[in-house]
């Protein structure tokens, strides 16, 4: 209640001072681990364990990064990750957008119940279906291939269906109706009228699918057994096992490898910041 006794100007000053203090303190707590990671990744092995720790390594040991990508076949992991992520992005986008179009623009019996069911499956924990799916994929001979990670993307994903449907509903139907009168097929309207107008939602779906698939750990852990099939995320865990198992743990190399895995995420974040934030708040907006 003290703030009320101060003059309005002093109150504002005190409050913005406290805000800055809070931001800077928390900011430091959020930034320090990253700075330490970067610093460790460029330090020599003895320097990593030196006490007190020297934050600015000199010289900079860039060879940690070379070692990080040659210790295990990282280029192969990168290729594997791309080979999984790219089709998943394309398949998720098109299947979800087709389904979203169906829910947004057609009247048919059972539609609303079906859409409610679709939303409800978002809350279903994956553990309930994981074991039977694994058994089926094993029977099909798909274990240690990318198929269990890619094929499910062909059937649409509830969250993206929801997101795209909401966006489609906000687009006026005039040009679609005109095209329909001109004899254009529904598929054609979806492709050449609706999708181009839904670009922001499309971008959000692609960004989220990329982040989800690129960083997925559980799927590759279950389905990819041989090391040469591993994704970057799974490979990083393999590297952890190998490095921790050796005499002196090369934390500098592990930090270099971790940073390399994080780079695409950070770059994408800066390129597509607004799509990230939109997708997140859209999910909460219901």
Partner 1 sequence: MKAEHRQGWLFVSPWVIGFLLLTAGPMLYSLYLSFTAASLLSPPEWVGLENYRRLASDPLFYRSLGNTAVYALMGVPAGLLLSLGLALLLNAPVRGQGFFRTLFFLPSVTNTVALSLLWLWLLNPEFGLLNAGLRGCGLAGPLWLQSEAWAKPALVLMSLWTAGGQAVIFLAALQGVPRELTEAAAIDGAGPVRRFFTITLPMISPALLFNLIMGLVGALQVFTSAFVMTGGVQPGSEGGPNQATLFIVLYLYKKAFQEFEMGYASALAWVLFALITACTALAFRLARERVHYESATP
- Nearest distance in Å: CB 33, partner 1: 6
94: helix, strand or coil: helix
Residue among 58, 112, 188, 217 that touches partner 1 (CB under 8 A): 217
Task: Please report, as residue ranges, which positions from 45 to 74 form the binding site for partner 1 (by CB under 8 A).
Answer: 48-49, 51-53
Residue among 42, 72, 84, 259 that touches partner 1 (CB under 8 A): 259
| Secondary structure letter of residue 190 according to DSSP | I
Cis ω before 52 (30° cut-off from 0): yes
Name 17's Cβ contacts closer than 8 Å, sequence gap at least 6: none
92: helix, strand or coil: helix
Question: H or E element: which one contains 165?
Answer: helix 158-169
Which is nearest to 81 in space by CA: 24, 132, 146?
146
- The answer to whether residues 234 and 220 touch, using CB atoms and an 8 Å cutoff, is yes
Residue among 186, 191, 197, 227 that touches partner 1 (CB under 8 A): 186
Which is nearest to 84 in space by CA: 230, 281, 240, 235?
230
- Does 79 bind partner 1 (CB under 8 A)? Our answer is no
- Nearest distance in Å: CB 286, partner 1: 8
- The answer to whether residues 104 and 165 touch, using CB atoms and an 8 Å cutoff, is yes
- Does 101 bind partner 1 (CB under 8 A)? Our answer is yes
- Nearest distance in Å: CB 211, partner 1: 6
- Nearest distance in Å: CB 105, partner 1: 8
- Does 267 bind partner 1 (CB under 8 A)? Our answer is no
- Nearest distance in Å: CB 3, partner 1: 6
Cis ω before 193 (30° cut-off from 0): no
Name 19's Cβ contacts closer than 8 Å, sequence gap at least 6: none
Task: Please report, as residue ranges, which positions from 125 to 184 form the binding site for partner 1 (by CB under 8 A).
Answer: 125, 127-136, 138, 152, 154-156, 158, 161
- The answer to whether residues 189 and 176 touch, using CB atoms and an 8 Å cutoff, is yes
- Nearest distance in Å: CB 269, partner 1: 6
- Nearest distance in Å: CB 79, partner 1: 18
Residue (126 or 196) nearer to partner 1, CB: 126
Binding mask 222-251 for partner 1 (x = CB under 8 A): x----------xx-xx--xx--xx-----x
Residue (62 or 155) nearer to partner 1, CB: 155
Task: Please report, as residue ranges, which positions from 109 to 128 form the binding site for partner 1 (by CB under 8 A).
Answer: 109, 111, 114, 117-118, 121, 123-125, 127-128
Residue among 32, 82, 140, 169 that touches partner 1 (CB under 8 A): 32
Q: Is 130 left (phi over 0), alpha (psi -120 to 50) or beta?
A: alpha
């Amino acid at each position: 209640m003290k703030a009320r006794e101060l003059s309005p100007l002093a109150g504002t000053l005190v409050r913005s001072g406290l805000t800055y203090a809070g931001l800077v303190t928390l900011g430091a707590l959020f930034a320090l681990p990253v700075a330490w990671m970067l610093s460790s990744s460029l330090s020599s092995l003895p320097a990593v364990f030196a006490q007190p720790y020297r934050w600015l390594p000199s010289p900079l040991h860039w060879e940690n990064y070379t070692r990080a990508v040659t210790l295990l076949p990282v280029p192969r992991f990168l290729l594997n990750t791309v080979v999984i992520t790219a089709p998943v992005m394309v398949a998720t986008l098109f299947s979800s957008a087709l389904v979203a179009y169906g829910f947004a623009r057609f009247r048919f019996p059972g539609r609303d119940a079906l859409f409610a069911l679709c939303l409800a499956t978002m809350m279903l924990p994956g553990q309930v279906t994981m074991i039977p799916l694994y058994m089926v994929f094993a029977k099909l001979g798909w274990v240690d291939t990318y198929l269990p990670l890619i094929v499910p993307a062909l059937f649409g994903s509830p969250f993206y269906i929801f997101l795209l449907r909401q966006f489609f509903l906000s687009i006026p139907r005039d040009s679609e109706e005109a095209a329909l009168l001109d004899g254009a097929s529904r598929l054609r309207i979806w492709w050449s009228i609706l999708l181009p107008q839904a670009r922001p939602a499309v971008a959000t779906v692609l960004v989220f699918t990329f982040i989800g698939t690129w960083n997925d750990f559980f799927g590759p852990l279950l389905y990819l057994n041989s090391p040469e099939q591993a994704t970057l995320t799974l490979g990083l865990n393999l590297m952890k096992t190998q490095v921790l198992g050796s005499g002196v743990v090369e934390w500098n190399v592990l930090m270099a490898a971790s940073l390399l895995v994080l780079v695409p995420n950070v770059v994408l974040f800066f390129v597509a910041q607004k799509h990230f934030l939109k997708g997140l708040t859209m999910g909460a907006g219901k």
